[in-house]
Chains A and B, each alone.
Chain A
Amino acid sequence: MLCSIRRWVLGLLVLAMPALALMLGLGACKPRPTLRVLTWADYVDPELLRRFEQRHQCRVLLDVFDSNEAMLARLKAGQRGHDVILPSAYALPALLADDLIEPLDHALLPHLGEVDLSLLPKLPDPPMRHAVPYTLGYAMLAVDAQALPDAQPTWQLMADPRVQGRCTLLDDMRETMGAALKTLGFSLNSRDEAQLAAAGELLLQWRGQIAKFENEAYKAGIDSGEFKLVHGYSGDLWQVAQQNPRLRLILPREGLSMNCDEMVLARGCTQRALAHAFIDFLLEPEVSAQNMQFMGYVCPNKGGLKLVAPAFLKHPALSLEPALRARCEAIEDLGPDLQKYNRVWERVKAGR
């Protein structure tokens, strides 16, 4: 008897499972328009998303990617259905070449004037026909001020014997080769094989010195004191510096790589008005100010930068002198010449 009751309970459970799953599914979809945004994780303040949803009686669905290459792979393979994408500027030529984004309607973007183009040298789409700049950042250095109290603002720190085995470089071909090219006084978009080979030699020297190539754990490493010198992104390093007073941010005088993330309309976007409203919302000065303090990245927004807390204005991405800014470059899409970088980078990674 007991046994049959148990069997009944099991049977009921099996029947109830699809029903339960269906209920969960129904609970999630309400009859409101949905805006589908493809972006980096935690790249918009969730409180602002709630505000946008209330104002426009809609639902914002965030889909995340962890690299531009992964995002491009999905779109190129034929995934459709996103409305707004927030890719890096250097992914724009590829997006345009494969016709994966749509032109913007400037009449629907009244706050477009807030974008401060003077902060952004050499963008791939300056008239903002397809893309509006969202954030701005640099790849730079940070040191432990106790270990290197007299650190000079230069990439040559990577060769300082005091950080032997206690420093990291980004595990990113373009960023790290860019740093070496800049150190040698070349463009970080150089297509010259001799210059690239020289950069490779320099990287091989640095390689003997570093603990590892690292994209993520450098934050925890410099925070704990495990690393004394790290190569990282301005937004990340700024966040660590907020928590750790020993950290000093270094803007190498030879120049830096600048990266900019953009807001674009996805091909086949079904919510055109809502998508424009979303882009325009993020351009509103007050929204922009709150947003940049949440993410730790700077938005090139004239009104927004007037509204942020004074501490935020010490952000390294904002404290660049004009002369140094002129030596900064955006990473460009090099097309087939990228192979030259691949060859040198493989040698560097293999240590040969």
Chain B
Amino acid sequence: MVGGLALLVFLYLPIAVLVLQSFNASRFGGRWQGFSLEWYARLFQHREVMQSLLFSLQLALLTAVGAMVLGTLSALALHQQRGRWRALHLALVTLPTLMPDVLMGLGLLLWLVSLNLPLGLGTLWVAHVTFSLGFVVLCVLGRLQQLDQALGDAARDLGAQGLQLWRRVLLPLLWPGIAAGGLVAFTLSLDDVAVSFFVKGAGESTLPLRVYGMLKMSRELPIINALCSLLWLFSALMLWLASRLWRRKMAH
């Protein structure tokens, strides 16, 4: 009991301090100088931070969709493959999940530059899909292996064909795995620093890179506290919503 409580304090005290500091009027957060919503107001006026937030969300959505589509296809292929080629395929797909980000970022950058491709949203998308693909594959593959093979046969017996079989039977059954993989891809894309640092090019910055760049020089560091507090609130809300939906589904 005491241990659990200590763990909770250990996990949440830093976040509590962060949230508290986001309301501190002091620019340096050294001492409490009164309650203030100034940093929240400044956050919404800080054009670069808001742009980066939108850009990161956009990139994370695109990454999730790309990884879900490719990952599902790859998992379906893996499920049917047998033998040596399957092992190679699985290794190649999951290798990027284990590779150090810095190596991958630098490698991708050298490759993209040698191809003379303009760096930007496109290259970021390719890179993010690459490192998150493996997670979707593993999620969907797990789901596929749990699946009763007879379900597909039964559907075919009942006259389902091709697209219909896929849309009415397979996709709904696989959906929890695909969605879980997509969520992981979304999260990974949203907080990636190392790979994005290399392949982002001269254009928009992603949010983590913007925050990282602000740490050393910014005159307005407390707006980062405000931003983190809001993101934290947002994730807590999403979790609460997801658990409610889940519970209702179980009740059915």
The secondary-structure label for the interface of chain B is helix
Contacting residues, chain B, for A65 (C-beta < 8 A): 213
The total of chain A residues at the interface (CB under 8 A) is: 49
Judged by a CB distance under 8 angstroms, whether B98 is at the interface is: no
Instruction: Give 1 or 0 for each of A9-26: 1 = CB within 8 Å of chain B CB.
Output: 010001001101100110
Q: Of the candidates A14, A18, A243, which one forms a contact with B62 in the assembled complex, judged by CB atoms under 8 Å apart?
A: A18
A66-B28 CB under 8 A given contacts A7-B172, A18-B65, A77-B106: no
Contacting residues, chain A, for B119 (C-beta < 8 A): 79-81
Judged by a CB distance under 8 angstroms, whether A295 is at the interface is: yes
Judged by a CB distance under 8 angstroms, whether A82 is at the interface is: yes
Whether B201 lies near A81 (C-beta < 8 A) is yes
Contacting residues, chain B, for A223 (C-beta < 8 A): 26, 28, 30-31
Smallest Cβ-Cβ distance to B125: which chain A residue: A21
**Which of under 10, 10 to 19, 20 to 34, or 35 or more describes the interface residues of B?**
35 or more
CA of A92 to CA of B26, assembled, Å: 36
Q: Which stretch in A35-43, A93-101, A109-117, A193-201 binds the other chain?
A: A35-43
Q: Which stretch in B146-154, B155-163, B217-225 binds the other chain?
A: B217-225
Judged by a CB distance under 8 angstroms, whether A124 is at the interface is: no
Judged by a CB distance under 8 angstroms, whether B209 is at the interface is: yes
A216-B30 CB under 8 A given contacts A7-B172, A18-B61: no
Contacting residues, chain B, for A244 (C-beta < 8 A): 30
Task: Return B213 CB to nearest CB of chain A, in Å.
Answer: 3
Contacting residues, chain A, for B68 (C-beta < 8 A): 14
Whether B61 lies near A36 (C-beta < 8 A) is no
Whether A79 lies near B26 (C-beta < 8 A) is no
A24-B212 CB under 8 A given contacts A38-B202, A74-B198, A224-B31: no
Most buried by B among A7, A21, A216, A243: A21
Q: Which stretch in B3-11, B50-58, B128-136, B232-240 binds the other chain?
A: B50-58
Judged by a CB distance under 8 angstroms, whether B37 is at the interface is: no
Most buried by B among A28, A64, A81, A223: A64
Whether A216 lies near B215 (C-beta < 8 A) is yes
Task: Return A56 CB to nearest CB of chain B, in Å.
Answer: 17
B96-119 residues with Cβ-Cβ distance < 8 A to A are 106, 109-110, 113, 118-119
Contacting residues, chain B, for A152 (C-beta < 8 A): none
A14-B106 CB under 8 A given contacts A25-B58, A36-B202: no
B-contacting residues of A (Cβ < 8 Å)? 7, 10, 14, 17-18, 20-21, 24-25, 28, 36, 38, 40-43, 46, 61-67, 70, 74, 77-82, 215-216, 219-226, 239-240, 243-244, 294-296
A–B complex contacts, Cβ < 8 Å, 27 sampled: A10-B175, A17-B64, A21-B61, A24-B57, A24-B58, A40-B213, A40-B216, A42-B219, A62-B48, A63-B203, A64-B213, A77-B113, A78-B110, A79-B113, A79-B201, A81-B119, A81-B201, A81-B203, A215-B216, A216-B215, A216-B216, A219-B28, A224-B30, A225-B30, A239-B219, A243-B26, A243-B33
A-contacting residues of B (Cβ < 8 Å)? 26-31, 33, 46-48, 51, 54-55, 57-58, 61-62, 64-65, 68, 106, 109-110, 113, 118-119, 121, 172, 175, 197-198, 201-205, 209-210, 212-220
